[in-house]
């Protein structure tokens, strides 16, 4: 039951109301109850689910059934439209500064995947956009964080600017940009230490880095397995830093990834890329439609509509 | 202490808002628990049981329901076990004791090993660490740094080498140095990667072969921020390595880690330790009461 998708959940309900002429309130109630459960099981935040279900209900009740669709199909169609709407369009673009280097700051909770994604993003910029990135090691706290980024730099044969663990992360970021200018790097990606959104001191450090280097992008890196707390984390990082986008990691797992929907709903910021593995070439543009189907556990939404 | 007070406050707020134990009351309770990642199924079952209990005891006033709620939650955690003690880590009287750490990427395995090494060392034990994560960039250096911090020995091979071979060397070293405890780090892996899960089973078999009854604990590290996927992690890692306990990390954040209630209920795996920060001392034994109270904290 735990991993049952919405399609399985809905089959029964759909059978019951098949062939009706009009979608009545009771039908919609039954179906949206299943939608609610599927979304909650996928870790979509309960408040987001609540609003979502309400909107679907309002839209679906009393609708004349279209000739080509059964009432069940019609509700699913509304669900899908609303969900796709929420997830937004294709957004895998990355800013380009008028005067190089373009500066990207990577931020997020501990262990989300910032350092790995720093390497992956640099790889994408070089490979697909012909850019010449410099990586900056501004995590001076986590044991061996600098060595980790340096190793990644070596694997990519890409330079890393580091100043050891005694330096101030703000200075490291500033100096990295100076170095980028000298060496003709057109991108600087600043890896920062993982921190809790409620850690005032460390969040202050990020604000100081932001002020000092005026980044073109601030990417919040989020683990796709995150549960209900995703909204608090995203909202809080966004309030304090005004992030420009989200990078979702570990989507190669079997998580439904409802956090993606929650984050999009509360911040409105686009999800740009998805991490699909530990290797440095495993970063892909984010596909909102696919994500919508994945969250609902509907591998193939259209088949369901046809079957119904 | 803090969690205890906020628990009563939260329950009191809930109680104050509703005079009668009705549908709205249970709906609000459901929302609190779901937002703590307890999981829909567990929450529904719990609410059903609560409703029955309320009927049985003929409770109409919400103030009386308060006790029942926390009783029920702690009961879910402990099941029918009468014992409500914190379950400590298993030890090998004939030494060395071996602990194997497993889990998905980035949950806090290496950090917890550092903290645990520090604790065991300060209890006067001789500790060895084995750097079984030979894959992730900087993983060996990270464990090495923790070893230095805790003042314990670290057995390591070069990056990219066979993890089972590192663990084997760790065992031999622990034996020859007469170490009390060997703690084995492994690379993070997502549970749906069959090859990587097989690799982990192999590591465990090496330990079993070298020391009878070892490993004495297989500790699955779960990140409290993780939602319902933690159940799948617990299931699959158990299949591969017969997990004996959970370490719930990052409880110092705002996430509640409620999924461990469902894991305890369905798979009977107890939480043994909790991580409360990044410092060497931020490791504590699990306390079900404090945990349950924490579910209701803001
Ligand atoms: N399977 C998988 N693993 C990933 C992905 N992205 C990162 N990881 C792994 O997640 C773990 C944590 O990644 P890091 O890059 O160290 O995370 P971080 O956010 O820099 O961590 P801190 O600096 O400690 O806050 C590592 O084991 C990575 O290999 C991904 O897309 N898929
Ligand atoms: N706030 C907080 N951070 C923690 C806690 N435990 C670990 N961390 C942080 O989480 C991040 C990942 O920790 P690691 O110990 O590297 O995790 P891991 O499971 O070994 O990661 P991989 O080996 O890459 O799979 C680091 O930044 C740690 O400092 C905790 O209890 N609270
Ligand atoms: Mg990092
Ligand atoms: Mg590790």
Q: Is the CB of B241 under 6 A from ligand 2?
A: no
Burial class (CB in 10 A: 0-12, 13-18, 19+), B3: middle
Q: What is the mean pLDDT of residues A77-95?
A: 81
**Is residue B113 within 8 Å of B149, Cβ to Cβ?**
no
Q: What is the mean pLDDT of residues A142-158?
A: 98
Q: Out of A111, A206, A248, A281, give the residue to mutate to test ligand 1, the one with the largest number of ligand atoms within 8 Å of its CB.
A: A111
Q: Whose CA is nearest to atom 4 of ligand 1?
A: A278
Record: contact B138-A250, CB cut-off 8 A: no
- How is residue B104 annotated by DSSP? S
What is residue A80's predicted lDDT score, i.e. its pLDDT? 78
Residues 42-81 of A with CB under 8 A from B: 42-43, 45-46
What is residue A162's predicted lDDT score, i.e. its pLDDT? 98
Min Cα separation A90/chain B (Å): 26
Record: contact B41-A1, CB cut-off 8 A: yes
H or E segment to which residue A34 belongs: helix A25-41
C-alpha dihedral sign at B247, B249, B252, B255: negative
Q: Which of A180-189, A193-202, B34-43, B244-253 is predicted with the least confidence, judged by mean pLDDT?
A: B34-43
> Is it the case that residue B18 has pLDDT exceeding 70?
yes
Q: Is the CB of B79 under 6 A from ligand 2?
A: no
Between A145, A196, A225, which is nearest B226 by CB?
A: A225
Enter the tokens of residue B296: 């209701």
**Is residue B236 within 8 Å of B205, Cβ to Cβ?**
no
Which strands sit side by side in the sheet containing A217-223, from one edge to the other?
A160-161, A133-138, A187-192, A102-107, A217-223, A245-249, A271-275, A283-285
**Is residue A163 within 8 Å of A171, Cβ to Cβ?**
yes
| For chain A, percent of residues with pLDDT exceeding 90 | 68
**Other Cβ atoms closer than 10 A to B24:** 11
Cα–Cα distances (Å) from A281 to A32, A147, A179, B135, in that order, read 40, 20, 26, 16
What is residue B95's predicted lDDT score, i.e. its pLDDT? 84
Ligand 2, residue B221: give the atom nearest the CA.
19
Record: contact A254-B232, CB cut-off 8 A: yes
Q: How far does the centroid of ligand 1 lie from the alpha carbon of residue A206, in Å?
A: 20
Distance, CA of B203 to CA of B208 (rounded, Å): 9
Distance, CA of B159 to CA of B137 (rounded, Å): 8
Enter the tokens of residue A308: 């119904």
Distance, CA of A57 to CA of B76 (rounded, Å): 34
Burial class (CB in 10 A: 0-12, 13-18, 19+), A55: middle
Q: Which residue has the higher pLDDT, A60 or A257?
A: A257
Enter the tokens of residue A107: 């931020």
Find tokens 């890409």 and name the residue: A158
Closest CA to B50 of B35, B34, B20, B29: B29
Q: What is the mean pLDDT of residues A97-125?
A: 97
Record: contact A226-B226, CB cut-off 8 A: yes
What mean pLDDT, rounded, does chain A reach?
A: 89
Distance, CA of B262 to CA of B156 (rounded, Å): 37
Q: What is the mean pLDDT of residues A283-303?
A: 78
Closest CA to A233 of A210, A263, A260, A270: A263
> Is it the case that residue B71 has pLDDT exceeding 60?
yes
> Is it the case that residue B90 has pLDDT exceeding 60?
yes
What is residue A306's predicted lDDT score, i.e. its pLDDT? 52
* Strands of chain A, DSSP E: 102-107, 133-138, 160-161, 187-192, 217-223, 245-249, 271-275, 283-285
What is residue B82's predicted lDDT score, i.e. its pLDDT? 55
Which strands sit side by side in the sheet containing B271-275, from one edge to the other?
B153-155, B127-132, B181-186, B97-102, B217-223, B245-249, B271-275, B283-285
Distance, CA of B195 to CA of B197 (rounded, Å): 5
Q: What is the mean pLDDT of residues A76-89?
A: 81
**Is residue A227 within 8 Å of B228, Cβ to Cβ?**
yes
What is residue B160's predicted lDDT score, i.e. its pLDDT? 95
Enter the tokens of residue B103: 């889990």
ipTM associated with this complex: 0.94
Distance, CA of A235 to CA of A242 (rounded, Å): 9
> Is it the case that residue A233 has pLDDT exceeding 90?
yes
> Is it the case that residue B87 has pLDDT exceeding 90?
no
> Is it the case that residue B85 has pLDDT exceeding 80?
no
A139 at interface of B, judged by CB pairs closer than 8 A: no
Which 3 state secondary structure label does DSSP give A47?
helix
What is residue A60's predicted lDDT score, i.e. its pLDDT? 78
B190 at interface of A, judged by CB pairs closer than 8 A: yes
Closest CA to A104 of A90, A120, A85, A88: A120
Condensed to tens digits (0 to 9), the pLDDT of residues A200-230 reads 999 999 999 999 999 999 999 999 999 999 9
- How is residue B85 annotated by DSSP? P
Ligand 2, residue B187: give the atom nearest the CA.
23
Q: What is the mean pLDDT of residues B116-120?
A: 98
Q: How far does the centroid of ligand 1 lie from the alpha carbon of residue B69, in Å?
A: 38
> Is it the case that residue A251 has pLDDT exceeding 70?
yes
Record: contact B225-A42, CB cut-off 8 A: no
Between B106, B137, B259, which is nearest A112 by CB?
A: B106
Q: What is the mean pLDDT of residues A60-81?
A: 70
Reported confidence tier of residue A14, pLDDT bands at 50, 70, 90: low
Q: Which of A90-94, A259-263, A265-269, B136-140 is predicted with the least confidence, judged by mean pLDDT?
A: A90-94
Q: Does the N-terminal peptide bond of residue A304 adopt cis geometry, omega within 30 degrees of 0?
A: no
Closest CA to B101 of B25, B184, B174, B29: B184
* Chain B residues touching residue A150 (CB < 8 angstroms): 138
Contact residues for A2 (Cβ-Cβ < 8 A; gap 6+): A41, B39, B41, B228, B231
Min Cα separation A5/chain B (Å): 14
Q: What is the mean pLDDT of residues B108-127?
A: 97
What is the reported pTM?
Answer: 0.94
What is residue B2's predicted lDDT score, i.e. its pLDDT? 45
> Is it the case that residue A288 has pLDDT exceeding 70?
yes
Cα–Cα distances (Å) from B189 to A142, A167, B57, B165, B237, in that order, read 20, 33, 48, 18, 10
Q: What is the mean pLDDT of residues B59-87?
A: 71
Q: Is the CB of A141 under 6 A from ligand 2?
A: no
Closest CA to A50 of B85, B199, B257, B34: B34
What is residue A61's predicted lDDT score, i.e. its pLDDT? 75
Name the percent of chain A in helix, strand, coil, to the closest 5: 50, 15, 35
* Chain B residues touching residue A255 (CB < 8 angstroms): 227-229, 232
> Is it the case that residue B1 has pLDDT exceeding 60?
no
Condensed to tens digits (0 to 9), the pLDDT of residues B203-240 reads 999 999 999 999 999 999 999 999 999 999 999 999 99
**Residue B170 φ/ψ region, left for φ over 0, alpha for ψ in the -120 to 50 degree band, beta for the rest:** alpha
């Amino acid at each position: 039951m735990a991993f049952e998708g919405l399609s399985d959940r809905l089959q029964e309900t759909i059978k019951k109301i098949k062939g009706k002429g009009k979608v009545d309130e009771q039908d919609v109630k039954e179906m949206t109850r299943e939608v609610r459960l599927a979304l909650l099981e996928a870790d979509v935040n309960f408040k987001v689910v609540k609003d979502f279900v309400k909107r679907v209900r309002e839209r679906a009740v009393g609708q004349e059934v279209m000739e080509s669709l059964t009432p069940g199909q019609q509700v699913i169609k509304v669900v899908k439209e609303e969900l796709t709407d929420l997830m937004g369009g294709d957004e895998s673009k990355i800013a380009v500064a008028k005067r190089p280097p373009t500066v990207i700051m990577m931020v997020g909770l501990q262990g989300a995947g910032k350092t790995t994604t720093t390497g992956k993003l640099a790889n994408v910029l070089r490979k697909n956009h012909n850019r010449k990135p410099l990586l900056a090691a501004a995590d001076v706290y986590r044991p061996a964080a600098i060595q980790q980024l340096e190793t990644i730099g070596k694997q990519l044969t890409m330079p890393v600017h580091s100043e050891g663990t005694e330096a101030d992360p703000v200075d490291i970021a500033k100096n990295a940009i100076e170095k980028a200018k000298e060496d003709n790097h057109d991108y600087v990606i600043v890896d920062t230490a993982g921190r809790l959104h409620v850690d005032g001191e460390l969040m202050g450090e990020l604000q100081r880095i932001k002020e000092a280097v005026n980044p073109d992008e601030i990417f919040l890196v989020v683990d796709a397995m995150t549960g209900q707390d995703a909204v608090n984390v995203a909202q809080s990082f966004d309030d304090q830093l005004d992030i420009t986008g989200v990078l979702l990691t570990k989507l190669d797992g079997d998580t439904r990834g409802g956090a993606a929907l929650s984050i999009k709903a509360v911040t409105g910021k686009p999800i740009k890329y998805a991490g699909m593995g530990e290797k440095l070439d495993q970063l892909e543009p984010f596909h909102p439609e696919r994500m919508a189907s994945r969250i609902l556990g509907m591998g193939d939404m259209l088949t369901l509509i046809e079957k119904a | 202490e803090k969690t205890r007070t906020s628990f009563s406050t939260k329950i009191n707020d809930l109680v104050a808002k509703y005079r009668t134990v009705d549908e709205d009351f249970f709906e609000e309770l459901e929302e609190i628990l779901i937002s703590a990642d307890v999981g829909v199924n567990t929450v529904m079952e719990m609410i059903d049981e609560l409703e029955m209990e309320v009927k049985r005891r003929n409770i109409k006033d919400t103030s009386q329901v308060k006790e029942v709620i926390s009783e029920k939650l702690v009961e879910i955690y402990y099941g029918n076990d009468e014992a409500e003690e914190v379950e400590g880590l298993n030890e090998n009287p004939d030494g060395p004791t071996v602990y194997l750490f497993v889990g998905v990427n980035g949950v806090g395995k290496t950090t917890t090993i550092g903290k645990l090494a520090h604790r065991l060392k300060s209890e006067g034990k001789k500790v060895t660490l084995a750097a079984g994560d030979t894959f992730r960039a900087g993983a060996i250096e990270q464990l090495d740094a923790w070893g230095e911090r805790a003042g314990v020995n670290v057995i390591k091979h070069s990056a990219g080498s066979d993890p089972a071979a590192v663990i084997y060397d760790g065992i031999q070293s622990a034996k020859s140095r007469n170490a009390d405890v060997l703690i084995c780090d492994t690379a993070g892996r997502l549970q749906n990667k069959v090859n990587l899960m097989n690799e982990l089973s192999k590591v465990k078999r090496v330990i079993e072969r070298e020391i009878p009854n070892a490993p004495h604990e297989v500790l699955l590290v779960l990140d409290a921020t993780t939602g319902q996927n933690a159940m799948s992690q617990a299931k699959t890692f158990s299949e591969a390595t017969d997990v004996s306990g959970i370490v719930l990390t990052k409880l110092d954040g705002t996430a509640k880690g409620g999924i461990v209630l469902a894991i305890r209920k369905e798979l009977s795996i107890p939480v043994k330790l909790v991580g409360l920060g990044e410092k060497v001392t931020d490791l504590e034994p699990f306390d079900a009461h404090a945990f349950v109270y924490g579910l209701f904290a803001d």
